[in-house]
Structure 1
């Protein structure tokens, strides 16, 4: 819901930084993989009760997630680059709830499982919509220039990052926060299915 609104503010500085990195020989895929490694390291730190360090790496990984597209725009965008970015994002988004489950299994395991299922369902509706949009020649730049069609929703990348930051700052709220956020993810998925039915239904 917030991604499109933030693009006008974050794209210009990211593009400048991405252009500078590209000029030094940094590749978009390299930034994507580096961001994934940092994001997974963040999950390890969170699972190990090192919240401040985990939060710092989490934010760094999301910076890399924005920079890879900026580097690609400064050089050459590829379909594989977009694919790799999605894979890295889903791996990161799955690793953080798992980290909180390991962090406090008695309190967090079931809420984390619920959250992960909601991510799985929401991600499926997102990717399925992108496939149908591609087949029907639909395009959008509301989320910036992307390889895939990015359908909007109640919860997008910005909301998820803010949610993870909140969890790192207040880890004790994970059970209730995961229940609320997971439910909103299911709502987002449901709305996306309805939109797909209206647009692509026979």
Structure 2
């Protein structure tokens, strides 16, 4: 919901840092994989009972998630880079949700399963729309220059990271927060399906 509003503010900073990293010979894919590794470390820390400390690698991993695209723009973008980026993002999201289930299975299992189901559905609606958008040669840079077509929604990257930060600060509230956030993920997915019906319902190619 806020991603499009935030991009104009953060992109100049990220692009400058991306040019610096590119000048040091660091590739965009290396930044993506470093961000994924930090995200998985954060998930492991949550599962092991240190969600507060997990905020450090979690936030640095999301910084890397913003920098990989900036490095790519400073060097050369690639379809594989976009593919690796979105795949790493979904693995990170699922790992954090799973980590809170491991942290307290008795209290968090049902809510965690619901949250993961909502991520699965929301991700499918997002990627399916991107495939059709590519087929019809649709383009947008509202959320920055991307390898995939990014549709807006009630919940996007900013809201998901804010949600994870709140969970790390208040892990005892995981269950009610996960039920609520998962429900909003389903709303986002359904709204994207309705948008796809409107945009692609009569299109042929």
Q: TM-score range by the shorter chain?
A: over 0.9
Q: Residue 47 of structure 1 aligns with which residue?
A: 47
Q: Residue 165 of structure 1 aligns with which residue?
A: 165
Q: Residue 188 of structure 2 aligns with which residue?
A: 188
Q: Residue 108 of structure 1 aligns with which residue?
A: 108
Whether 1:82 and 2:116 are equivalent positions in the alignment is no
Deviation of 1:52 (Å)? 2.3
Q: Residue 118 of structure 2 aligns with which residue?
A: 118
Unaligned segments of structure 1, at least 5 residues: none
How far apart, CA to CA, are the structure 1 residues paired with 2:193 and 2:69? 27
Unaligned segments of structure 2, at least 5 residues: none
Q: Residue 7 of structure 2 aligns with which residue?
A: 7
Report how many aligned residue pairs link the two structures: 202
Q: Residue 197 of structure 1 aligns with which residue?
A: 197
The runs of at least 4 consecutive aligned structure 1 residues that moved more than 4 Å come to none
Query: 1:162-185: CA deviations, max 9, x gaps?
Result: 000000000011000000000000
How far apart, CA to CA, are the structure 2 residues paired with 1:29 and 1:133? 24
Deviation of 1:51 (Å)? 1.7
Q: Residue 26 of structure 1 aligns with which residue?
A: 26
RMSD: 0.5
Matches within 5 A, 1:67-78: 67-78=67-78
Query: 1:113-139: CA deviations, max 9, x gaps?
Result: 000000000000000000010111110
Query: 1:68-98: CA deviations, max 9, x gaps?
Result: 0000000000000000001100100000010
TM-score with structure 1 setting the length: 0.99
Q: Residue 137 of structure 2 aligns with which residue?
A: 137
